[in-house]
Amino acid sequence: MRCKGLNIYSVQESLMEMFPVSVEMRSFIEDLPKAELHVHLEGTILPATVLKLAERNRMDYPFKTVEEIQEALDSRTTSLKSFLDLHYMFVSVIRTKADFYEVTYEFLRTCMNNSVVYVEIKFDPQFHTEQGISFDAMIKGIDEGKKDGLRDFGVDCNLIMCINRERTVESAWKMMEQAYPYRHLITGLGLDSYEKDNPPSKYTEVYEKAREQGYRVTAHCDVNQEDSVKHIWECIDLLKTDRIDHGINSIEDPELVAELIRRDITLTTCPTWRNPYPGPRDLEGIKKMYELGLKVTLNTDDPAEFTSEYMNRTLIGAVEGSGYTKEDLVQFMRNAFDGSWLPRDRKDMYIASLEEYALGHTG
């Protein structure tokens, strides 16, 4: 059975009939040393934890049971807005430094269980500070969770604070100012949330200042948004990002593909899926990117909110739907370590251990 045509929102049906994953391939995936470059901290909280935090923070929360949350998750449409409207209901339960600590620490435990050895975690300061949480409590909670996660689980991570693009430019400047004393704790700046009517160009000056301050920069160009291709051009030309989050619509423009390759831009795609859809989105587009030679990586985005879950399940789904080989998976991970914001020697160290793993398991 072939997957549908190159409609980027196509979902592959009867996934299991396409490229069944052997026990050996499953175990190869599970133990493969991985890097993840596109995951939102607030999207890693499982429904049971969402309820626990809501109760601990004495919130009058609309969901009372895991089943109610699951029903809401299953009722979403594929639109970005439908996803985000519910996503922010989950984000709202994180209220204290202890919550940020716990969510970060627990996510790093999950990374270890998925053989993710390095992760770059995004978070949304504006949402939290506008709920009345101080930047200090938020960043210290995350940073302490990060340090303890490294000590206890051996998972290293760096942080990317994201501008919620639908908010005002003034609000983004305020976030930059609040972040300044903690500049050493934050590696990158990103751009996420509602893309419609909020092009990257809205933030050209903010990004210029961020680069001056030494942040690495990326931005979401979500799949099939209005002007997706134009937004990708704006990211590389105006914001001067060295990564694009998603960016799948780039394949519609051969000149853009050539430019992304020329500038060695890393694209962090997310072959996630959600009920009631049976399999990963965007697989055809992602495979085309890979075949065109773009530096593409595979990521989970908001793993607690998708059926694709965390890294192992996401990669198994990608293989089931696209027939990737072990060598392909190693290449995706090589791209991720190389496209990370680690210093060169650390990238090389991770890549060497990846190559060693590959040597023992392929050929």
Instruction: Find the Cα–Cα–Cα–Cα dihedral 36, 41, 42, 47, rounded to 10°.
Output: 70
Nearest to 243 by CA among 223, 265, 262, 221: 265
- Our finding on whether 42 is near Zn ion (CB under 5 A) is no
Please identify, using beta-carbon distances, which residue of 310 and 357 lies nearer to ligand HPA.
310
Helix (H, G, I), strand (E, B) or coil at 363: coil
Q: Are strands 220-221 and 295-298 parallel, antiparallel or unpaired?
A: unpaired
Contact 116, 311 (CB under 8 A): yes
Nearest to 133 by CA among 38, 203, 13, 53: 53
CA–CA gap between residue 37 and residue 242 (Å, rounded)? 13
In a 13 Å sphere around the CA of 329, the CA atoms on its Cβ side amount to 29
- Our finding on whether 102 is near Zn ion (CB under 5 A) is no
Contact code string over 286-325 relative to Zn ion, x by CB under 5 A? ---------------x------------------------
Please identify, using beta-carbon distances, which residue of 95 and 220 lies nearer to ligand HPA.
220
Contact code string over 26-65 relative to ligand HPA, x by CB under 6 A? --------------x--x----------------------
Looking at residues 85 to 114 of the shown chain, list those that interact with ligand HPA (rule: CB under 6 A): 87
Please identify, using beta-carbon distances, which residue of 300 and 331 lies nearer to ligand HPA.
300
- Our finding on whether 36 is near Zn ion (CB under 5 A) is no
Nearest to 243 by CA among 264, 263, 220, 218: 218
Looking at residues 124 to 183 of the shown chain, list those that interact with ligand HPA (rule: CB under 6 A): none
- Our finding on whether 120 is near ligand HPA (CB under 6 A) is no
Q: Which of 12, 126, 187, 193 binds ligand HPA (CB under 6 A)?
A: 193
Please identify, using beta-carbon distances, which residue of 34 and 40 lies nearer to ligand HPA.
40
Contacts with Zn ion, residue ranges (CB under 5 A): 301
